[in-house]
Amino acid sequence: MIIRIVKMTFIPENVNEFLKVFNDAKNKILNCEGCKHVELLRDSERPGVLFTYSHWESPEHLEKYRNSELFKTTWEKTKMLFAEKAEAWSLSQM
């Protein structure tokens, strides 16, 4: 299993717009082959910093999603709301 964490720092006034984008996409992402879990987390000290936390059956499932039209359109809407470039990590459980 792969755990994917993406840190996103938003322009403060854009957070609510991102929440709409995420809520529109969440169930579609969960329906992607190999996706087992998706959630959104917020930094407790910096409300403009949010993280997506997702579980994927394999690196191949994650890559298939990252190459999908769903990812491309969601990411296009999201990245224009950033204050900083996003950071991402793919992790495996030990």
| pLDDT tens track for 28-38 | 999 999 999 99
Calculate mean pLDDT across residues 1-11: 97
- Phi/psi of residue 79, nearest 5 degrees: -65, -25
On the question of pLDDT at 25 being above 90, the answer is yes
Can you tell me the distance from the alpha carbon of 23 to that of 26, in angstroms, rounded to the nearest whole number? 5
pLDDT band per the 50, 70, 90 thresholds, residue 93: confident
Phi-psi map region of 73: left, alpha, beta (phi>0 left; psi -120 to 50 alpha): alpha
On the question of pLDDT at 60 being above 90, the answer is yes
**pTM of this prediction?**
0.94
On the question of pLDDT at 72 being above 90, the answer is yes
